[in-house]
Structure 1
Amino acid sequence: MKNSWDIDTLRHYVQEASLRSFTPYSGLPRAALVLMSDGAWACGVRIENASYSLVIPALSSALVSTASIGRKDIVAILFSGPVKQEEKIAILQTVTPSLDQLDKDFFGTPGCTYRIGNQLTMGKHFSKPIDPNTGIRIARHAAEYADIPESNFPVGAIAVTDKLQYFQGANIEHPDWTRILCAERAAIATAMSAGGSNIRNIYVSCPKSTAASPCGACRQVLYEVAPKSTVWFDRGNQAPRRFRTKDLLPEAFRLTNHHRISS
């Protein structure tokens, strides 16, 4: 990066974002910052889960958050610590055109003159509590941003906090299916990365199926980070269907510490 002050500014942003990580099991916060071609930027944070394989890495949070609002014009990625091997692989396989590692914590575009603009607006506010039909309507709109070359099955979701902030997500697919995040988890990652805590409602729309509901992975993540939330399913011309998150995953578990699982 040509201007050292600029990269130091970005480092400050990503370090600040890392404080929003949800890492109760490792105790190791992590954040990634993606810089767009117009200077806009956004951060994603690590979100851990009692089912360790369902952890949402910081890079994945950043990529799905921005893709869920239609932004994929990434020119640089900065991490809150040295780049890990798995992050290098993910960047090479996910971000196009490919970026080069230019510093211990930084992937960029060789020869690019970077500029830093404003942080992308990831969340919006409702002026008053919304009815379920409004939430479903916005979730349907979010589904339009789905990137679904593998399944051709769009899904949209919004996560609404107790402060009436809402954050949208869409299912963003990858040739490596293990890296795919559903719309519900994309919305959660977007909310938590932006500091939207206390998620109270999740609205989910599957335009091609009025019988679909969150997968097991999404149910586990919802139970972990928003156990008191309510999930609303789009049922087409019928009234949205409502479930309490805790009822979606019977016999759910959480790790209370490193040695014990509690039901």
Structure 2
Amino acid sequence: MVKQDPEDIERLFAAARASRARAYAPYSGFPVGAAVLTENGQIHAGTNVENAAYPAGLCAEAGAIGAMVAAGETRIAAVMVVGGGHELVTPCGVCRQRIREFATPDTMVHVGDDAGVRRSFTFAELLPFAFGPANLGLSGDHHDE
């Protein structure tokens, strides 16, 4: 497991928690916030945005990744997801694939609730044998070419 700077974890947590407070979740009542830390030390946050026409909503992780890409970044160093309830709120399957596009197997994914981080995983633990650019015959990370 890659050692994560405690200050980076706290910054990620604060951003994800603040983003969760702005979620638009009138249908599920389940707000989620996410934040990604780039290799350049920048943090980009996102929140879930629901829509009456299910499944047209947007996951918090997708919003954070979109903000990262819009800012010109393409490398995720760490992810934080903050949700509620008794169970861990880990990225959904689609978001795991989204994260894969910009992360490495060693990228840390932290999950928590409003009280703090509950558990940390490497990305490979959440999505072993992930489908990525190499499966399409592309070597390395094609998004930097």
Normalising by structure 2, what TM-score? 0.78
Q: Specify the alignment match of 1:152 in structure 2.
A: 29
Normalising by structure 1, what TM-score? 0.45
For the 8 Å contact 2:12–2:43, the answer to whether it is kept is: no
Equivalent runs, 1:235-250 vs 2, <5 Å: 235=113, 237=115, 239-250=117-128
Question: Could you tell me which of 103, 109, 113 is aligned with 1:231?
Answer: 109
Equivalent runs, 1:14-53 vs 2, <5 Å: none
What is the CA deviation profile of residues 103-152 of structure 1, one whole-angstrom value per residue up to 9, with x for unaligned ones?
A: xxxxxxxxxxxxxxxxxxxxxxxxx9824233212211110111112211
For the 8 Å contact 1:159–1:166, the answer to whether it is kept is: yes
Runs of 4+ with >6 A deviation = none
**Could you list the runs of 5+ residues in structure 1 that have no partner in the other structure?**
1-127, 259-263
Q: Specify the alignment match of 2:136 in structure 1.
A: 256
**SS of aligned partner of 1:141:** helix
Higher relative contact order (CA 8 A, sep 6+): 2
What is the CA deviation profile of residues 165-194 of structure 1, one whole-angstrom value per residue up to 9, with x for unaligned ones?
A: 111100011122232121011100111122
**SS of aligned partner of 1:253:** coil
Instruction: Give the total of aligned pairs.
Output: 131
Give 2:42's aligned amino acid. Q
For the 8 Å contact 1:210–1:235, the answer to whether it is kept is: no
Whether 2:34 is the aligned partner of 1:161: answer no
Question: Could you tell me which of 32, 37, 47 is aligned with 1:170?
Answer: 47
RMSD of Structure 2 on Structure 1 (CA): 2.3
User: Based on CA coordinates, which of the two structures has the bigger radius of gyration?
Assistant: 1
Q: Give the drift of 1:235.
A: 4.7
**Could you list the runs of 5+ residues in structure 2 that have no partner in the other structure?**
139-145
